[in-house]
């Protein structure tokens, strides 16, 4: 029996088409690993709960885990990123799914609880909400050893777990999959980088000639800065980290404090992982130019002070799908993308399947690794093993028909030694 609560089961055929489109672009997780999992069943008897954006890419991860023998439960990691056609297809394929587009905060946590009630052995989180809820409300899953280990997909989640670990409150072995090279150097850089497209979807705006302020210069935002420049925008970067600020400057971007950047900004995109990148004050709001587009690509909806902007507006008008015009008391208009939530997911279907292939290949292989190594894992943060990270790189290259060189024995000795010098 499949357990589920979704929006509309009649969307299954449309969902299947989406899954098929993604599958063809995800040769590593949806073909190479899936074929092996189908034969070897490394996840037999294991229940896996994923709190992830329920997209066509995530659906393909779920199918692979199921092919490996796992019982799979899914809920959304963001109320606006769930693709309702995909959930309908998932239910038909026997994946227990609790997710629908536009759920409330209460419903969001209800869905998480439904997944935790299934007593999962592995949790795959995106943003830490499911694993934190397990700690707070389902401690017996941890104390009984039911949860073998957990995996985290995104930068914000990893930050939260590092904070928990520092306080001695992280009670499960946790793999920060986000920090693997095959994840953050591709998904974050290219996927979020292409998030610029979501701003274009939102307003159908020409970037050329615009002043585009990018808040943050980590993997996510540096990808965006480059692409905004490629589209002809004048890009201004804001940072709090001196090294990242220098990297942005030496990459040729203007760098300045946000308060200085705001008055000329036509488009503002945030991906810092922090809160209140634009401070929620009348003084800061007074700096925003009439017609400015505000989009956030970080995990939570507080980078842009969404709540306070809504409160400040005298009128809020939906103008396109997932875009609102906020009219301030003095008549200035602000265009807010995706209610301040991850515009890259809400407005443009999430990161492209090709990069999610690598992230989700890591997630699939890490689930297998956890089962194989369950008896030796200790609570706390544990890096994704380098050989698994490398394997995903190798498989991705293979799938693209690209060969690379191998070190000769002589070269291997040279780079691992110190004796040969001048």
| Chain positions contacting ligand RBV, by CB under 6 A | 53, 55, 57-58, 126-127, 153-154, 187, 191, 299, 345, 350-351, 356, 359
Please identify, using beta-carbon distances, which residue of 187 and 239 lies nearer to ligand RBV.
187
Closest CB to ligand RBV belongs to which residue? 350
- Tell me the two tokens of residue 54: 């329920």
Q: How far is the CB of 86 from ligand RBV (least distance, A)?
A: 9
Q: How far is the CB of 183 from ligand RBV (least distance, A)?
A: 7
Q: How far is the CB of 356 from ligand RBV (least distance, A)?
A: 5
Q: How far is the CB of 76 from ligand RBV (least distance, A)?
A: 11
Query: How many angstroms separate the CA atoms of 368 and 41, rounded?
Result: 9
Q: How far is the CB of 173 from ligand RBV (least distance, A)?
A: 20
Give the N- to C-terminal CA distance of the chain in Å, as an integer: 70
Residue among 347, 196, 164, 179 at smallest CA distance from 271: 196
Q: How far is the CB of 153 from ligand RBV (least distance, A)?
A: 5
Query: How many angstroms separate the CA atoms of 194 and 272, rounded?
Result: 16
Q: Which whole-number Å values give the CA distances from 214 to 164, 233, 281, in the listed order?
A: 29, 11, 20
For tokens 């393909």, name the residue. Answer: 60
CA quadruple 367, 373, 379, 382: dihedral sign: negative
Please identify, using beta-carbon distances, which residue of 51 and 292 lies nearer to ligand RBV.
51
Other CB atoms within 10 Å distance of the CB of residue 185: 15
Please identify, using beta-carbon distances, which residue of 239 and 349 lies nearer to ligand RBV.
349
Q: How far is the CB of 207 from ligand RBV (least distance, A)?
A: 22
- Tell me the two tokens of residue 165: 């670990």
Please identify, using beta-carbon distances, which residue of 67 and 271 lies nearer to ligand RBV.
271
Please identify, using beta-carbon distances, which residue of 71 and 187 lies nearer to ligand RBV.
187
Query: How many angstroms separate the CA atoms of 285 and 199, rounded?
Result: 20
Q: How far is the CB of 321 from ligand RBV (least distance, A)?
A: 18
Please identify, using beta-carbon distances, which residue of 53 and 210 lies nearer to ligand RBV.
53
Please identify, using beta-carbon distances, which residue of 193 and 326 lies nearer to ligand RBV.
193
Please identify, using beta-carbon distances, which residue of 141 and 358 lies nearer to ligand RBV.
358
Query: How many angstroms separate the CA atoms of 417 and 253, rounded?
Result: 40
Please identify, using beta-carbon distances, which residue of 89 and 292 lies nearer to ligand RBV.
89
């Amino acid at each position: 029996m499949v357990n589920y609560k979704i929006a509309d089961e009649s969307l299954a055929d449309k969902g299947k088409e989406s899954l098929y489109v993604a599958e063809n672009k995800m040769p590593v997780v949806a073909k190479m690993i899936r074929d092996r999992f189908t034969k070897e069943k490394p996840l037999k008897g294991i229940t896996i709960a994923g709190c992830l954006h329920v997209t066509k890419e995530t659906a393909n991860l779920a199918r692979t885990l199921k092919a490996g023998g796992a019982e799979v439960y899914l809920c959304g990691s963001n109320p606006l990123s769930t693709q309702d056609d995909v959930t309908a297809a998932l239910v038909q394929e026997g994946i227990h799914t609790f997710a629908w587009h536009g759920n409330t905060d209460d419903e969001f946590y209800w869905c998480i609880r439904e997944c935790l009630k299934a007593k999962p052995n592995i949790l795959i989180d995106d943003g830490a909400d499911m694993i934190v809820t397990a700690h707070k409300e389902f401690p017996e899953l941890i104390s009984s050893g039911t949860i073998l280990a957990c995996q985290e997909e995104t930068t914000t989640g990893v930050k939260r777990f590092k904070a928990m670990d520092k306080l001695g409150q992280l009670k499960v072995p946790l793999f920060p999959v986000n920090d693997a090279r095959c994840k953050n150097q591709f998904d974050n850089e290219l996927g979020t980088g292409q998030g610029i497209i979501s701003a274009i979807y939102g307003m159908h705006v020409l970037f050329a000639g615009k002043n585009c302020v990018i808040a943050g210069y980590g993997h996510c935002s540096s990808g965006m800065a480059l692409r905004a420049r490629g589209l002809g925008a004048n890009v201004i970067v804001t940072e709090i980290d001196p090294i990242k600020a220098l990297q942005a400057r030496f990459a040729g971007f203007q760098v300045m404090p946000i308060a200085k950047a705001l008055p000329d900004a036509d488009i503002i995109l945030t991906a810092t992982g922090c809160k209140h990148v634009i401070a929620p004050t009348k003084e800061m709001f007074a700096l925003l130019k009439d017609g400015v587009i505000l989009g956030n690509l970080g995990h939570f909806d507080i980078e842009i002070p969404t709540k306070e902007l809504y409160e400040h507006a005298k009128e809020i008008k939906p103008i396109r799908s997932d875009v609102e015009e906020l009219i301030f008391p003095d008549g200035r208009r602000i265009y807010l993308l995706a209610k301040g939530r991850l515009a890259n997911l809400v407005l443009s279907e999430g990161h492209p399947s090709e990069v999610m292939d690598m992230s989700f290949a890591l997630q699939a292989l890490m689930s297998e690794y956890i089962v194989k190594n369950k008896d030796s894992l200790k609570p706390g943060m544990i890096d994704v093993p380098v050989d698994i990270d490398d394997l995903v790189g190798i498989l991705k290259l293979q799938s693209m028909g690209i060969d690379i060189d191998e070190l000769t024995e002589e070269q291997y000795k040279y780079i691992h030694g110190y004796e040969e010098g001048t």
